[in-house]
Amino acid sequence: MIAFLKRYEGLWLFVHSPAAILAAIISVVILIGAVFAPWIALVNPYDLSSFSLFDGLLPPVWQEGANPKYLLGTDDQGRDMISAILYGARLSLVIGLAALTIAAVLGVGLGLAAGYYGGRFDAIVMRIADVQLALPAILTALLIDGIARGVLPAAVQQDLRVAVLTLAIALSLWVNFARTARASTFVQMNKEYVQAAIMMGQRPSRVMFVHILPNILGPLLVIMTVDLASAILLEATLSFLGIGLPADSPSLGTLIRIGMQFLLSGEWWILWIPTLFLVALVVSINILGDFLRDVFNPRLR
């Protein structure tokens, strides 16, 4: 009942927050564009035969010399910018969401168990979390990437780039989930329903996942939104540094790295349009995250 009211109240707050509505619209539009990229996009940026160098460096339609077929212009390879961005956002979102899922499962699992069992297990998990927290996420991700380059045979490296990148991001984000889940579990452990469940002899896994988990979902949801933004930023940064994805399967970060070469020339759109997209996406997700935090934490209102 309380959960329902909260949801209802959240909806009411949402309708009265123009920033949240705008952020939600932008996120949903980019999400739909990314999901349906293969059907919307003019060309397939991964398929070299679907575009030609003769269409290279065309400006967006509102500038002189544009081809109306390419609304936002083309890059030096003749790739349609919209198509490249849609596929890039698709890749960025897939990696971001996958990394987030891994981080959430790992972090929430460990956090729940640490809060439930306490004692030595809790101490070990939290020490590891402290060490991880002292290392900034980007450094962790770079390190994991470097190790993967050293350990994996050269033949499979190209094929596993996406997996390595996802794992590197996931392993640098799990701590937030673990700490939040642990703190909330501690609070729940003292409640009567949990004590009753334990007393009835229910298995620890059942108490943790069936009884406690639904009651700590609120704060976890906030972490999820904020961390989705972090995951997308991290992926973009790694790809921008040239450590992430190669140029033939560009994510938003890779597109920006390619665009950097045109910083000094007149072809501004190759750099700034993907940049604008990335920033709009991340800002929107962060605004939604801030909004959710306010909804779940009435004290801050």
Applying CB under 8 A, among 164, 243, 270, 295 the residue interacting with other proteins is 243
Long-range Cβ contacts of 267-270 (<8 Å, 24+ apart): 267/57, 267/59, 267/73, 267/76, 269/59, 269/60, 269/72, 269/73, 269/81, 270/57, 270/73, 270/75, 270/76, 270/81
- Using CB under 8 A as the binding rule, whether residue 247 contacts other proteins is answered as no
Count, residues near other proteins per rule CB under 8 A: 35
CB-wise, 43 or 252, nearer to other proteins?
252
What span, in angstroms and rounded, lies between the C-alpha atoms of 97 and 180? 19
Here the tokens at position 149 are: 């380059």
The interface region with other proteins, picked from 24-32, 56-64, 118-126, 258-266 by CB under 8 A, is 258-266
- Using CB under 8 A as the binding rule, whether residue 173 contacts other proteins is answered as no
Which residue type is seen at 276? L
What span, in angstroms and rounded, lies between the C-alpha atoms of 267 and 254? 17
- Using CB under 8 A as the binding rule, whether residue 150 contacts other proteins is answered as yes
CB-wise, 38 or 146, nearer to other proteins?
146
The interface region with other proteins, picked from 27-35, 40-48, 67-75, 285-293 by CB under 8 A, is 285-293
Applying CB under 8 A, among 110, 162, 287, 292 the residue interacting with other proteins is 287
Applying CB under 8 A, among 146, 204, 214, 246 the residue interacting with other proteins is 146
Angle at 89 between CA 63 and CA 165, to 5 degrees: 135
Residue 295 parent element (H or E):
helix 268-296
* Residues 81-120 within binding reach of other proteins (CB under 8 A): none
Is residue 298 packed enough to be buried (19+ CB in 10 Å), middle (13-18) or exposed (0-12)? exposed
Applying CB under 8 A, among 28, 32, 247, 279 the residue interacting with other proteins is 279
Q: Which is it for the CA torsion 252, 105, 128, 145, positive or negative?
A: negative
Residue 153 parent element (H or E):
none
CB-wise, 53 or 263, nearer to other proteins?
263
- Using CB under 8 A as the binding rule, whether residue 149 contacts other proteins is answered as yes
* List of residues contacting other proteins (CB under 8 A): 131, 134-136, 138-139, 142-143, 145-147, 149-151, 229, 233, 236-237, 240-243, 256, 260, 263-264, 271, 275, 278-279, 282-283, 286-287, 290
